[in-house]
């Protein structure tokens, strides 16, 4: 059996070192030993914080299966129909308008997290936990003129948002030897401090009432999450970052230019195996598409023609960028699994608030790539009761190889959503 090349192999000469792209020779030859490996899976979630204009998003409820007419807002996805699934009548059963936004990837409102085994841990962060240290970054949470409000750790901490330029620098700019040494020392100090803090906290536990003990357990969870992050960071301090010919993106222009550049960063992140989990939330800036006003005000359209037309422009472009991501991943060879990156990348588009009018019923949800059985508009009956959107999240987890029979508010996996 051949010995695989190291993943961080370099071509050296004339004082220059260039990182090799992911090559088949870097993948262990499992076929020779008869070992069947689980395919490497990737996940991308695209979202916004205001929902979608439903009359432009959903096909007619009587157009079930493959013969649906592509709605106006989704027209750019027509070319990818066979790699796409549209869902109707899935939601998290929540009310409260904007309070539904952070529930998208868990089904659990932060205020009720204590009642669930995994709290309001979001899907992306559960996948990041599952992947562990196989990539430099377990996940990336990116915002484009908007805060990412949908990613939460097991301890209920909202994951900070970074922009596309920060993502580029993290992936491709190597730190100096001095900075690496400082980072290593900082991690050691953090570990020492955590040991002391945990020791002191545990000595208090026996003297506390049940409510305080529950709070302390949540605190322990936060500390353990931090410990895990420290362990994950250590092996990567001295490993060189990959190189790219792509120039550092600049934070100039409006949302359309920035969002397209952000999509390119996502493709680079997956292509270089810097991470296998990305969430990206996009917004709107006054002047985008020649529009004057605010995204929030447009979303409260009251079916008035002008704000509806504005929403269609904003949301249509968001979907166009999803189509662009699908096309770019189709073009990229998956050197680890074979086929294309799209074959093993799940792309979820969704919003935790259905529309800007504060409705949380029938969430706008699209699924692409990832090897699922696509090509349909799947309409779930409301006669027999609501189908939790968390069933879709659980199905995605299982598609990625996570052994789980429940996630958040799920009641099971999503019926009929198979994959190869």
**Rounded distance, CA 146 to CA 49, Å?**
8
The token duo for 99 is 């309070």
* Residue 277: closest CA among 58, 33, 62, 45: 45
Query: What's the pLDDT at 65?
Result: 96
The answer to whether the CB of 26 falls within 8 A of the CB of 4 is: yes
Residue 233 confidence (pLDDT)? 58
Cα gap 21→343, rounded to integer Å: 19
**pLDDT for residue 133:** 85
Question: Who's near 193: CB < 8 A, 6+ residues apart?
Answer: none
Picking from 92, 69, 47, 43, the residue whose alpha carbon sits closest to that of residue 377 is 69
The pLDDT of residue 115 is 93
Cα gap 9→203, rounded to integer Å:
48
Three-state SS for 367? strand
Report pLDDT for 204: 65
Give residue 138's pLDDT.
Answer: 93
How many angstroms separate the most distant Cα atoms in the chain? 71
* pLDDT for res 332: 95
Q: What pLDDT, on the 0 to 100 scale, is given for residue 184?
A: 47
Q: What is the pLDDT of residue 216?
A: 63
pTM for the predicted model, two decimal places: 0.82
Two tokens, residue 318: 């968001």
How many angstroms separate the CA atoms of 289 and 269, rounded?
28
Rounded distance between C-alpha atoms, residue 97 and residue 105, angstroms: 16
pLDDT value, residue 201: 61
User: How many CB atoms are located within 10 Å of the residue 276 CB?
Assistant: 25
Mean per-residue pLDDT pooled into runs of 10, the chain (420 residues) = 49 40 50 65 96 95 96 98 97 86 96 93 96 91 94 92 93 67 50 54 65 66 57 66 90 93 96 96 93 89 90 96 98 94 98 83 96 96 87 98 96 90
Q: How far, in Å, are 17, 84, 365 from residue 391 at the CA level?
A: 47, 18, 12
Calpha distance 124→396 (Å, rounded): 10
DSSP summary character for residue 112: G
d(CA 347, CA 322): 8
> Domain 40-173+246-399 adopts which CATH fold?
Alkaline Phosphatase, subunit A (3.40.720)
pLDDT at position 199, please? Answer: 60
CA–CA separation, 77 vs 322, rounded Å? 8
DSSP state of 241: P
Q: Give me the residue label for tokens 């770019």.
A: 328
Domain ranges of the chain: 1-37, 40-173+246-399, 175-239
Strand boundaries in 195-261, DSSP class E: none
CA distance 94 to 109: 8
DSSP character string of 300-368: S-TT-HHHHHHHHHHHHHHHHHHHHHHHHHHHSB-TTTSSBGGGGEEEEEE-SSSSTTS--SS--EEEE
How many C-beta atoms lie closer than 10 Å to residue 186's C-beta? 12
């Amino acid at each position: 059996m051949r010995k695989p090349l190291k993943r961080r192999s370099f071509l050296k000469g004339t004082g220059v070192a260039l990182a090799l792209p992911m090559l088949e020779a870097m993948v262990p030859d499992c076929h020779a030993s008869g070992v069947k490996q689980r395919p490497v899976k990737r996940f991308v979630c695209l979202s916004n914080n205001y929902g979608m204009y439903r009359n432009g998003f959903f096909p007619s409820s009587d157009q079930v299966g493959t013969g649906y007419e592509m709605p106006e807002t989704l027209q750019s996805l027509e070319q990818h129909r066979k790699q796409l699934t549209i869902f109707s009548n899935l939601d998290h059963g929540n009310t409260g308008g904007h309070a539904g936004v952070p529930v998208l990837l868990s089904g659990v409102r932060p205020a009720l997290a204590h009642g669930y085994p995994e709290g309001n841990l979001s899907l992306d962060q559960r996948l990041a936990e599952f992947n562990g240290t196989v990539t430099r970054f377990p996940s990336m949470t990116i915002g484009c003129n908007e805060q990412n409000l949908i990613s939460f750790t097991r301890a209920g901490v909202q994951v900070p948002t970074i922009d596309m330029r920060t993502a580029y620098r993290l992936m491709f700019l190597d730190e100096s030897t001095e900075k690496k040494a400082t980072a290593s020392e900082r991690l050691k100090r953090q570990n020492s401090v955590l040991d002391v803090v945990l020791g002191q906290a545990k000595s208090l536990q026996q003297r506390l009432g049940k409510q305080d003990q529950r709070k302390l357990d949540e605190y322990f969870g936060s500390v353990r999450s931090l410990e895990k992050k420290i362990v994950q960071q250590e092996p990567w301090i001295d490993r060189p970052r990959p190189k790219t010919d792509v120039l550092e993106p600049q934070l100039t222009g409006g949302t359309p230019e920035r969002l397209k550049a952000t999509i390119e960063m996502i493709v680079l992140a997956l292509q270089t195996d810097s991470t296998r989990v990305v969430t990206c939330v996009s917004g709107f800036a006054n002047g985008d598409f020649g529009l004057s006003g605010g995204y929030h005000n447009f979303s409260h359209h009251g079916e008035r023609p002008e704000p509806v037309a504005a929403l269609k422009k904003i949301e249509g472009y968001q979907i166009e960028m999803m189509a662009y991501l699908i096309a770019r991943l189709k073009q990229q060879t998956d050197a680890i699994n074979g086929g294309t990156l799209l074959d093993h990348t799940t792309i979820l588009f969704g919003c935790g608030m259905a529309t800007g009018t504060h409705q949380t019923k029938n969430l706008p949800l699209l699924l692409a790539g990832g090897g699922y059985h696509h090509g349909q508009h799947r309409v779930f009956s409301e006669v027999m009761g609501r189908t939790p959107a968390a069933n879709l999240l659980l199905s995605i987890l299982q598609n990625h190889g996570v052994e789980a029979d429940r996630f958040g508010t799920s009641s099971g996996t999503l019926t009929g959503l198979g994959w190869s």
